[in-house]
């Protein structure tokens, strides 16, 4: 369980967090979604008692992160953003060291089991320095899971992993999230949607939106964006594509490609492809591109804009 | 307590994969070996150390001098490297107190230097067999106690300094300056000032070191060393703690 109330954090005179309030219950995977510099890492460092907040309160696993930090640290597993590891240590020894710091009985077995969970048992006797970035990420995750913590805090856990590993780790996080509290940060929207029960969108130190992935999806209607490229000149193609039913906002990009959007409920790509070819163009590429986070923020904060304007005027 | 031991053990093991630690140990043992050879040589009729019965004081004195130069190399990375690599974030979010972390690091260095000190025991043992009726056991004991206390104090200063930096080289030089000040510079004013000479003499580490090696155990000397150890470890804990608040 995590409960955060009016959390603020100043770095010198710069305020990184502006009164964050949220909760994460047991058995829930909560996603912290936001662009770089949003304050995700700062929040997680406060929740893991790495550093104290400037004001506000945070209760993790039933204890205050400032006044009962040792109790909090016993119950939290934490994967920092830049997985800090002793590169000159052997994988097993490193995890054994962390297990010993947590006073785990049968540390050797526990380390073995945890290595198996993250799929690195065969690397137990190798040096950490010799591992790929993805493997190091999983060692970091193993370290966070060693003591089977009540609360798991993962700062961008899938960054640097290859697609196959991403799927595995997401699956693992979902499994763990069934009985524990997981708070993970990411700047990938689809990831938040896949693993989380609830998503908190944070920007510039404030929670902008808090919702379930399903609701987010429906708020993001119009999010499917496609880039299309044809051989040679694309003159005259845009009006033709515009005519296809369901296509919205056709644009020509400076690099000669075309871009359009469509509603997820109505996939128009087949029609568009047919139109392009029937019109005699050579279709070279058509690919979907997700909305960037910035665009998502624009999208999600749109509804709140009129309110602000009203306030400003009065 | 358990955490201190866990951290100390990791550091101790780390010294054995660290080239710097081997260089330090090798240099100490080599230089002391040469001095030992000179002691034996002077015993065999030559008069290098002014003749007379050979004793271990040249070895013990040189060892202390060597520690001024070498302990900074043993302590420089202890906490500075954790700061640099970001592993401090792991240690500070594990259920470990700042003081346990700092004492554990210090103890790791201590165990390593104790290993080196233990190896140097071969010199007095050989000497004891060479001379009749053997060397003085009392001064041997207090001399080694002095060496252990000097090592403990130096390592503590080094750990305290290391906690303040993210850069090993900076930690090395600052520790070295601190130790040179403690070991020599503190003593200089004593010869020149009108009043307060006693104070400077008391602050100088050599005073207490040679009190012990001469065979006497005084409470003031012990208090001096224990205070230094406490100050270094306390500084280290405070430095780690304040890192959280920045
Ligand atoms: N140690 C620090 N000192 C000063 N400013 C910091 C520090 N860490 C983060 N910040 C600032 O706080 C803001 C939030 O950063 P961070 O929490 O790392 O965001 P995120 O993890 O979402 O990318 C950023 O503007 C960043 O520059
Ligand atoms: Mg971050």
What is the domain extent for residue B191? Answer: 2-244
- A171 to chain B, minimum CA–CA distance in Å? 25
Residue A22 has pLDDT above 90, yes or no: yes
Token digits of residue B139 = 């001064």
B192 close to A (CB below 8 A): no
CB A171 within 8 A of CB A158: no
Prediction pTM value: 0.84
The verdict on a CB contact (< 8 Å) between A97 and B6 is yes
A130 close to B (CB below 8 A): no
* Closest residue of chain A to B98, computed from CA coordinates: A70
B10 close to A (CB below 8 A): yes
Residue A309 has pLDDT above 50, yes or no: no
pLDDT, tens digit, 9 for 90 and up, residues B108-149: 999 999 999 999 999 999 888 887 777 888 889 999 999 999
Q: Which domains does chain A have, with CATH numbers?
A: 2-212 (3.40.50.300), 222-289 (3.30.70.100)
CA dist A37 and B81 (Å) reads: 26
Q: What is the pLDDT of residue A300?
A: 65
Average pLDDT over residues A23-47: 93
Q: What is the pLDDT of residue A256?
A: 80
Average pLDDT over residues B29-35: 94
Out of A35-39, B28-32, B147-151, B163-167, pick the least confident.
Answer: A35-39
B2 close to A (CB below 8 A): yes
Task: Identify the bridge partners of residue B161 per DSSP, sorted by sequence position.
Answer: none
- A54 to chain B, minimum CA–CA distance in Å? 9
Q: What are the chain A neighbours of B92 within 8 Å (beta carbons)?
A: 49-50
The verdict on a CB contact (< 8 Å) between A100 and B87 is no
Beta strand extents in chain A (DSSP E only): 2-11, 14-24, 29-33, 55-60, 63-64, 76-79, 151-155, 181-186, 198-203, 206-211, 224-231, 247-252, 258-262, 282-289
Band of pLDDT at residue B97, cut at 50, 70 and 90: very high
CA dist B139 and B214 (Å) reads: 6
Out of A215-219, B54-58, B178-182, pick the least confident.
Answer: A215-219
Query: Using a 6 Å CB cutoff, which residues line ligand 1?
Result: A 11, 16, 34, 36-42
Band of pLDDT at residue B45, cut at 50, 70 and 90: low
Q: What is the pLDDT of residue A313?
A: 43
Task: Identify the bridge partners of residue A185 per DSSP, sorted by sequence position.
Answer: A32, A155
Q: What is the pLDDT of residue A245?
A: 80
Q: What is the pLDDT of residue A238?
A: 83
Average pLDDT over residues B236-246: 87
Pairing of the two strands A198-203 and A206-211? antiparallel
Quote the ipTM score. Answer: 0.90
Q: Which of B78, B83, B90, B99 to mutate to test the interface with A (most CBs of A within 10 A)?
A: B90
Residue A39 has pLDDT above 80, yes or no: yes
Q: What is the pLDDT of residue A295?
A: 67
CB B88 within 8 A of CB B82: yes
Any idea what the Cα angle at residue A132 is, between residues A129 and A133, rounded to 5°?
A: 100
Pairing of the two strands A282-289 and A224-231? antiparallel
Answer whether the bond into residue B133 is a cis peptide, omega within 30°. yes
Higher pLDDT, A172 or B179: B179
Higher pLDDT, A57 or A289: A57
Among B186, B182, B153, which Cα is nearest to B75's? B153
- B245 to chain A, minimum CA–CA distance in Å? 6
The verdict on a CB contact (< 8 Å) between B89 and A50 is yes
CA dist B163 and B239 (Å) reads: 6
Provide the number of structural domains found in chain B: 1
CB A187 within 8 A of CB A156: yes
Higher pLDDT, A244 or A222: A244
DSSP state of A291: P
Report the percent of chain B where pLDDT is more than 90.
70
Average pLDDT over residues A120-147: 93
Residue A308 has pLDDT above 50, yes or no: no
In this structure, the residue with its CA closest to atom 9 of ligand 1 is: A42
Average pLDDT over residues B213-233: 95
Q: What is the pLDDT of residue A241?
A: 83
Q: What is the mean pLDDT of chain A?
A: 86
Average pLDDT over residues A52-73: 96
Q: What is the pLDDT of residue A288?
A: 76
CA dist A66 and B245 (Å) reads: 11
């Amino acid at each position: 369980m995590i409960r955060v109330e009016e959390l603020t954090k100043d770095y010198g005179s710069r305020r990184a967090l502006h009164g964050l309030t949220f909760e994460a219950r047991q058995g829930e995977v909560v996603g912290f979604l936001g662009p770089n510099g949003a304050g995700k890492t700062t929040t997680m460092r406060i929740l893991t008692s790495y550093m104290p907040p400037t004001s506000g309160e945070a209760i993790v696993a039933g204890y205050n992160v400032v006044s009962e930090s040792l109790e909090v640290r016993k119950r939290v597993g934490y994967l920092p953003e830049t997985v800090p590891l002793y590169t000159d240590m052997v994988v097993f020894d490193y995890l054994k060291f962390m297990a010993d710091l947590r006073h785990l009985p049968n540390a050797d077995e526990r380390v073995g089991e945890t290595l198996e969970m993250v799929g690195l048992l065969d690397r137990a006797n190798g040096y950490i320095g010799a591992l790929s970035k993805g493997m190091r990420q999983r060692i970091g995750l193993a370290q966070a899971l060693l003591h089977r913590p009540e609360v798991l805090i993962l700062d961008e856990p899938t960054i640097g992993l290859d697609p196959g590993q991403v799927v595995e780790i997401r699956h693992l996080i979902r499994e763990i999230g069934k009985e524990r509290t997981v708070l993970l940060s990411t700047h990938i929207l689809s990831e938040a949607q896949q693993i989380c029960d609830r998503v908190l969108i944070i920007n510039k130190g404030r929670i902008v939106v808090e919702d379930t992935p399903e609701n987010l999806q429906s708020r993001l209607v119009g999010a499917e964006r496609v880039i299309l490229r044809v051989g040679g000149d694309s003159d005259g193609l845009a009006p033709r594509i515009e005519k296809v039913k369901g296509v919205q906002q056709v644009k020509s990009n400076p690099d000669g490609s075309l871009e359009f959007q469509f509603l997820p409920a109505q996939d128009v790509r087949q029609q568009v492809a047919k139109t392009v070819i029937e019109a005699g163009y050579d279709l070279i590429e058509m690919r979907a591109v997700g909305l960037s986070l910035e665009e998502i923020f624009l999208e999600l904060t749109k509804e709140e804009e009129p309110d602000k304007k009203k306030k400003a005027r009065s | 307590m358990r955490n201190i031991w866990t951290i100390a053990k990791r550091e101790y093991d780390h010294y054995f994969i660290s080239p710097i630690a081997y260089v330090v140990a090798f240099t100490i043992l080599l230089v002391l070996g040469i001095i030992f050879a000179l002691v034996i040589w002077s015993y065999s009729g030559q008069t290098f150390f002014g003749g007379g019965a050979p004793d271990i004081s040249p070895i013990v004195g040189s060892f202390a001098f060597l520690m001024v130069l070498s302990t900074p190399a043993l302590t420089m990375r202890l906490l500075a490297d954790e700061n640099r690599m970001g592993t401090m974030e792991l240690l500070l979010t594990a259920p470990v107190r700042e003081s346990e972390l700092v004492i554990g690091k210090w103890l790791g260095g201590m165990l390593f230097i104790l290993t080196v000190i233990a190896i140097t025991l071969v010199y007095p043992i050989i000497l004891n067999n060479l001379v009749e009726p053997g060397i003085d056991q009392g001064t041997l004991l207090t001399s080694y106690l002095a060496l252990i206390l000097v090592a403990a104090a130096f390592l503590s200063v080094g750990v305290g300094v290391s906690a303040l930096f993210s850069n090993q080289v900076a930690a090395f030089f600052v520790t070295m300056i601190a130790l040179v000040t403690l070991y020599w510079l503190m003593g200089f004013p004593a010869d020149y000032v009108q009043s307060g000479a006693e104070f400077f003499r008391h602050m100088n580490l050599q005073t207490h070191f040679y009190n012990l090696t001469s065979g006497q155990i005084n409470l003031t000397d012990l208090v001096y060393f224990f205070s230094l150890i406490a100050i270094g470890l306390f500084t280290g804990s405070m430095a780690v703690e304040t890192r959280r608040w920045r």
